[in-house]
Amino acid sequence: MTEILIDHVVKDFTIDRRSVRAIDDISLTFPSGSFSALIGPSGCGKSTLLRLVADILAPTAGTIRVGGLPPGEARLRHEIGFVFQDASLLPWRTVLENIQLPLEVAGGPIGDGPRPENLIRLVGLSGFENAKPAQLSGGMQQRVSIARALTLRPKVLLLDEPFGALDEITRQRMNMELLRIWQETGTTAILVTHTIGEAVFMADRVHVLAAHPGRLVTSIEVDLPRPRELAMLQTPAFNHFENAVRAALFGDELKAVSVG
Partner 1 sequence: MAETVAASRERRKLSLGGLAAPLAFAIVLIGLWKLLVTAFAVPAYIMPPPEAALAAFEADPGKIGLAVFYTLRNAAAGLAVAFVVAISLAAAFVNSKAATRAVLPIVIGLRTAPVLAIAPILIMVFGRGIGTAIAVVVIVSFFPIMVNAMKGFSSTRKNALELMHVLGASGAATFIKVRLPFALPFIFAGLRSAATSAILAAMLAEWLSGAPGLGTMILDAASYRKNDLLWAAVIVSMVLAYLIFSLTTAVERRLTSWRG
The site for partner 1 (CB under 8 A) is made up of: 51, 54-56, 75-76, 78, 80-82, 84-86, 88, 90-92, 101-102, 104-106, 131-132, 134-135, 137, 152
Q: 171: part of which helix (H) or strand (E)?
A: helix 168-185
Between residues 73 and 204, which has the closer beta carbon with respect to partner 1? 73
Between residues 147 and 245, which has the closer beta carbon with respect to partner 1? 147
CA end-to-end span of the chain, whole Å? 45
Shortest Cβ distance from residue 160 to partner 1 (Å)?
9
Closest CA to 217 of 173, 250, 185, 184: 250
Tell me the C-alpha distance between 147 and 144, whole Å.
5
Cα Rg of the chain (Å, integer)? 18
Q: Give the single-character DSSP code of 127.
A: T
Shortest Cβ distance from residue 5 to partner 1 (Å)?
19
Shortest Cβ distance from residue 137 to partner 1 (Å)?
7
Between residues 104 and 257, which has the closer beta carbon with respect to partner 1? 104
Between residues 56 and 176, which has the closer beta carbon with respect to partner 1? 56
φ, ψ of residue 132 in degrees (nearest 5): -90, 150
Shortest Cβ distance from residue 104 to partner 1 (Å)?
7
